[in-house]
Structure 1
Amino acid sequence: MGQMLGPLREGAPRHIGPYEVLARLGAGGMGEVYLARDTAPGAPPGTYVALKTIRTDVAGEPAFRERFRREIRVAGMVRSAYAAAPVGGDPDAGTPWLATAYVPGPSLAQAVRRGGPLPVATVRALGARIARALADLHAAGVLHRDLKPGNVMLAVDGPRLIDFGIARAGGATTMTATGVIVGTPSFMSPEHVAGARHVTGASDVFCLGSLLCYAATGEDPFGEGPVAAVLYRVAQAEADLTRLPEELRAVVTACLSRDPADRPAPEALAELLGGTAGRPPAWPEAVREHIGEYGRELAQLVASGGPLLEVPAAPAPTSGTPASGGPGLHAAPTVAPLPVPVSPPTPQRRRRRGLIAAVVALAVLGGGVGTYLLWPEPAPKKPATAGPPAASGPRVPGVDDRGLADASGVVPQNAAQRPAGWKPWRAKLSAPAFGCSGNEKALVCRTTDGWYEALDPANGKKLWEASAGGAGRGGQSYMNDHGVPWIVDKASRPTVHDSVVVLAWEGRLQVRDVRSGAVRWESKEPMQGTQREVTRPIVADGTIFAAVAGPSPDGVIHPPIGMAAFSLTDGRKLWSKMLTSDEIPYSETRPFEPVAYAKGQVYALSDGGLVTYDARTGELRGQVDRAAAECEAVKVLGDSAYCVSTPHVVDAEERLHVLDAATLAAKGTVPASLESLSADVISPKAFAGFAKEGLGVYDPKDGTRLASYPLKDTAPAGLKQELSSPLLAGDRLVFADYSALYTVGLGADGRPGGLKATPVPGAPGPRAEEDERDPNYGIVYGRRIRQPEVLPVGGIAYVVYDKGAVASVELPR
């Protein structure tokens, strides 16, 4: 039940018992699990179940049929608001089956793998409800015996415990008839491992402690490695809780006591975690979106009026018949941004399809057995654009000119992130743009006068505006003669992340609601503020990483600079480290700040070069070698990190370095063709960036140049324009100048296609240079011709120009 909907295989049953089989949910050792609809007379309309079946060859063996009979009997004993409700079963049918309520959502394991660890408050609420489910099971004389993240499903109104395949009534042993231990090694109890004659309710509590640790850290508390080693650590109750938030440590430690008598009872544990009264768990935005994908997929299937079927493979081409380039079968999707492929509706179903909408009311569970309400929807309006939807991919929390937090320049495109009612638009900020970030909820830009303005991605209308330091409009940001920026109130670029935007300036860190602009919390930590035009907070893993000011002795103009980690939820300071050790002279000023995040590590620039820290603890993990000491930023791809040295010598060339992502040690040399590439995009398919000859696209394995696109100056004489940094939006490289949006499609093998130019309505076009210098200050940013920014989200490109013009267009295909 942890998978999303897959097509029915050829020969799959269409009806089992009173159920119409609609799609495939997954498979196990003895059979398959289907999504099915109850068609029995009198059944509430829209009742959907997870239908577990036994394979025909296995069903003929009395031992397996008896085991399934026992599972049906145990499942029938389960009555809990926090467990998937049993509906019925028949162990004697030709195809034995067991039906439980269908839970439209991911498993806890899937949600954490995709969205990262859950906030402490969410873990508490989730744990209290699963503890309550265990209390209900134990009261009925049932032990679960396989409590693990894959057996906890996340629905919009809370978690559900599932899968009673190895559950037993009280007094059962921990082994099968053949002496094989049952359960999942990382989520067993010491009693399981010891093969004790009897497990107890305390064994389920131990497993729940392991599950809570996983939910809060994303890691198994007993580590990885050979099964024997994991089982030994479980047997000794040697859990690693160092990354567990302090607020959860006491209760999880109690659950993981080696002595079962020292573990809290499920009822007491539920209260220790905060009880189950009140609202359901506050799922993070990423989890809510994940759950929503399941609901949308179910809605699309229901609207189709028929089951999800495999598409027959195309016949082999004959003479004179072109070969088909499409795949033979539909694969079970991992996300659901696109309409689910379904069989064509019959004429009767087509009429029914016009009467019901593809909308599922997930919050309504009729009688706890999976009844979903459907309601009519007005006839759809003519779409604003005729272009196809964007390619599918995971949801991204926010995008800026570097891409995502790993700074690789790779931005997956998910059509579910296209704002409702979107159509092309153009808008104008109140002052020149100076760094933007956005997602499907809002586009937030810093302006050169130290303000922030938020636009609605659907139509370009202003949502809110705010001053960084409280100053009025009209201030100017500039660069002095030493090349050091002086930005109004040292306001950083904004970082949009899910439903919030993070802002930082001198002396202040602030988190606002991205739609309303309301301040959620504010910290008066001595923030360092902007050090370069590119300065921004890094947000990932429920944490904000930002530069902070160090101690400032009297007479010190440029005090040491540090970096701190703050809780995104409430602003608590988690840890801090110094990035510089002394006063920094003008000649050595660089952006000493966090620059990227990937796989639990945050990367920053220190006075000793790039360093990397454990994002949870702040423990130093590595530092660059001398050869890469001039690198100021890093891009992370898998187990490698790439940085470009920025020599402070006239006419010196930039140089690309490849480093170990964990330690930043030199990993090897890059091919000669890549050495002088700016490497704006680092992806498994291709490296891409601007070089002297134009845009280059290279094979990441050997540096072979796959394509080169000379970029001529298209500005008429006396006029000028700039190019944005390229990003990889789905399967297309994308960048812009002052007139057009440029795209280069990449094939499945990374081979680039032709360069396509698409005019951008509202683009300012090339313009004449103006006097950018102020005799008293230096270069004024608001007068300077600067590169535009392209933010690709959900198949839409938001193009921001330096003077404040903003355009929203569909990415061409």
Structure 2
Amino acid sequence: MIRSTDSLAIVCPGRDTMGAKVLKPLTAVDPTTVGDFRLVGRLGHGAMGVVYLGYRSTRPVAVKVVRPQLAEDEYFRRRFAQELEAIRRVGGFHTAALVDADPHAAVPWIATQYINAPSLFDLLEQHGSVSELGAWWLAAGLADALMHVHSVHLLHRDLKPANVLVAVDGVRVIDFGISHVSGRTGLTTASAALGTLSYMAPEQAADSRKASEAADVYSLGATIVHAATGHVPFYAHLVAQRTLDTPPDLTGLPPGLLDLVSHTLAYEAEDRPTVQMVLEEAMERLLQFGVSTSAHVYPPLPQAFLAEMLERQATPLDAPPTAEPALVPEPDAEPEWHGAAVEPDPVRPPADKPDPEPARWAARWRSRIEDRRGDYGG
């Protein structure tokens, strides 16, 4: 059985209702310092570690500390080192930037930028699906992120709504705990399918070594289906269910997305488009919808999404501690956590009219894509 919590989350925001605080008090068993960072509370925890909010200066960071029992596992340390390499190589534009780390400590840890934004999964669970326009906006952001990931010779291998943070200035792709350096072998086997079955390409489910850029495209398409319909495209519980050529459940999918989805979810990897092709198509569609080119307008997402994103952004964080934080008993249970990081710049309300010069926007995007073709192998 594959569990999504078996991967290493980079940073972890809480699955709280809108307006609820995402920070939990430290418990009696939690450290109060890690490296040079003072810890002020818990952001969440998963199967492989606990994530804390910490300060070394006035800027908050998410500090992930692995569980002590896992620190003695050599295989785990190798995976942890691989995650650190992935964070460092991807950088901070599309994800949470690396601040500091010590993979060789008695208990390894990573400190990353704190992004105060909800996950796409949480937004979908609480408020339902997005419109066709919203799905194209998400597709453009995810494709742009994957283009960058692939350009540094990495694969994500577990793209899904829970690993996508949605901020007013764009999406962030998180959780590179099972990321894979293209061409490298030794950390995965055919008997260990890493990822989440409902969003996983069939060849990756059959053999983790078959993960590829095309498999990430498949996961992008599956994520768009969930966003546009409110449900997963596949209801798989066993690996064998995802190795078959099973048609996805597209109930409720807007007709305008059918061509994109059918191609990204093609059973054969060679029949899928590249992420660059997905980005070009998404930007053309946004242009047709007349989406403004201004970086200071809200994304075309449901009002309930925007309200939660803005309320999360406006939620004040605890100030850097001046004394040891209070200790409280360990709670009986906490929900699963998936991601987090930095507060975006303030935004202005959306413009009432579409961009009066869409042709200039299209030309700029086409020029940008042309300039990057060499970087992405296009």
Question: What TM-score comes out, normalization by structure 1 length?
Answer: 0.36
CA contact 1:172–1:199 (8 Å) conserved in 2: no
Q: Which residue of 2 aligns with 1:94?
A: 106
- CA gap 1:268/1:292 in 2 versus in 1, 3 angstroms: same
- Measured after TM superposition, the shift of residue 311 of structure 1 is 4.3
CA deviation profile, 1:212-266 (whole Å, cap 9, x unmatched): 0001111001136xx12x7525641511213111111111111101111121111
The 5 A counterparts of 1:278-677 are 278-279=294-295, 281-297=299-315, 299-302=316-319, 309-311=326-328, 362-364=343-345
What is the CA deviation profile of residues 295-331 of structure 1, one whole-angstrom value per residue up to 9, with x for unaligned ones?
344x15238877874546xxxxxxxxxxxxxxx9699
The DSSP-based 3-state class of the residue aligned with 2:318 is helix
Residue in 1 that maps onto 2:133: 121
Would you say the 8 A contact 1:205–1:266 is kept in 2? yes
Alignment of 1:730-769 (within 5 A): none
- Three-state SS of the structure 2 residue aligned to 1:301 is coil
The superposition leaves residues 65-92 of structure 1 with CA deviations (integer Å, 9 ceiling, x where unpaired) of: 2221121112211136222222232101
1:131-151 per-position Cα deviation (integer Å, ceiling 9, x unaligned): 111000000000000101110
Give the equivalent residue in structure 2 for 1:192: 204
Cα-Cα RMSD: 3.1
How far apart in 2 are the matches of 1:289 and 1:172?
A: 43
> Which residue does 2:23 correspond to in 1?
5
Q: Report whether the alignment pairs 1:263 with 2:272.
A: yes
Q: In the TM superposition, what are the counterparts of 1:61-210 in structure 2 within 5 Å?
A: 61-79=73-91, 81-172=93-184, 176=188, 179-195=191-207, 197-210=209-222
Distance 1:64 1:331 in 2: 25
The residue that corresponds to 2:40 in the other structure is: 22
Shift of 1:294: 2.8
**Is 1:33 aligned with 2:44?**
no
* Displacement of 1:38: 3.0
Over alpha carbons, which structure has the higher Rg? 1
Match of 2:62 among 46, 50, 64: 50
User: Is the Cα contact below 8 Å between 2:188 and 2:208 reproduced in 1?
Assistant: no
For 1:245, which of 254, 262, 265 is the aligned residue?
A: 254
In the alignment, the residues of structure 2 paired with residue 292 and residue 332 of structure 1 have an alpha-carbon distance, to the nearest angstrom, of 25
- Taking a change above 3 Å as real, the CA distance of residues 329 and 69 of structure 1, as seen in their structure-2 partners, is closer
**Bigger share in helix:** 2
Q: Distance in 2 between matches of 1:295 and 1:14?
A: 26
Of residues 212-221 and 284-293 in structure 1, the stretch that sits farther from structure 2 once superposed is: 284-293
For 2:13, the aligned partner's letter is: G
User: Aligned pair in 2 of structure 1 residues 61, 329: CA closer, same or farther (>3 Å)?
Assistant: closer
The partner residue of 1:254 within 231, 248, 263 is: 263
Judged with a 3 Å threshold, the aligned counterparts in structure 2 of structure 1 residues 282 and 127 are, in CA distance, closer, same or farther, namely same
Q: For residues 171 and 51 of structure 1, do their structure 2 counterparts lie closer, same or farther at Cα, with a shift above 3 Å needed?
A: same
Partner of 2:290: none
Instruction: Tell me the alpha carbon deviations over residues 738-797 of structure 1, each in whole angstroms, 9 at most, x when there is no partner.
Output: xxxxxxxxxxxxxxxxxxxxxxxxxxxxxxxxxxxxxxxxxxxxxxxxxxxxxxxxxxxx
Letter in 1 for 2:272: R
Aligned partner of residue 93 in structure 1, secondary structure: coil
Q: Secondary structure at the match of 1:32?
A: strand
Aligned-partner SS, 2:42: strand
Contiguous gaps of at least 5 residues in structure 1: 40-44, 313-327, 335-360, 366-498, 500-517, 519-813
| Per-residue deviation, residues 558-610 of structure 1 (Å, max 9, x unmatched) | xxxxxxxxxxxxxxxxxxxxxxxxxxxxxxxxxxxxxxxxxxxxxxxxxxxxx
In the alignment, which residue of structure 2 is the partner of 1:236? Answer: 245
**Is the 8 Å Cα contact of residues 192 and 208 (structure 2) preserved in structure 1?**
no
For these two proteins, the number of residue pairs brought into alignment is 317
Contact 2:24 2:42 in 1 (8 A): yes
Q: Which amino acid aligns with 2:202?
A: P
| Alpha-carbon separation, structure 1, partners of 2:158 and 2:171 | 16
* Segment drifting more, 166-175 vs 258-267: 166-175
Matches within 5 A, 1:650-729: none
> What's the secondary structure of 1:77's corresponding residue?
helix
Q: Distance in 2 between matches of 1:305 and 1:330?
A: 29
Please state whether the residue corresponding to 2:345 is helix, strand or coil.
coil
Q: CA deviation at 1:168?
A: 0.7
More strand by share: 1
1:273 is matched by which residue type in structure 2?
A
Distance 1:20 1:303 in 2: 8
Q: Which amino acid aligns with 2:67?
A: R
Unaligned runs of 5+ in 2: 1-11, 15-21, 287-292, 337-341, 353-378
Q: Aligned partners of 2:23 and 2:190: how far apart in 1?
A: 35
CA contact (8 A) 1:7 1:330 kept: no
Counterparts in 2 of 1:154 and 1:135: CA distance versus 1, 3 Å: same
Runs in 1 of length 4+ with deviation above 6 angstroms? 303-308, 328-334
Q: CA deviation at 1:177?
A: 5.1
Q: Distance in 2 between matches of 1:128 and 1:215?
A: 13
Distance 2:94 2:201 in 1: 22
Q: TM-score, normalised by structure 2?
A: 0.75
Which residue of the partner structure matches residue 350 of structure 1? none
| Corresponding letter in the other structure for 1:301 | D
Please state whether the residue corresponding to 1:51 is helix, strand or coil: strand
1:302 maps to a residue whose letter is A
Counterparts of 1:250 and 1:220 in 2: how far apart (Å)?
18
Aligned partners of 1:303 and 1:330: how far apart in 2?
A: 27
Higher relative contact order at CA 8 Å, sep ≥6: structure 1 or structure 2?
A: 2
Shift of 1:55: 1.4
Cα gap change, 1:123 to 1:309, in 2 (>3 Å) = farther
Task: State the AA in 2 paired with 1:247.
Answer: G
Are the counterparts in 2 of residues 8 and 309 from structure 1 also a CA contact under 8 Å?
Answer: yes
CA distance in 2, matches of 1:282, 1:306: 43
Alignment-mate amino acid for residue 309 of structure 2: I
- CA 1:235/1:84 → structure 2, altered by over 3 Å: closer, same or farther? farther
Cα 1:52/1:203, change in 2 over 3 Å: same
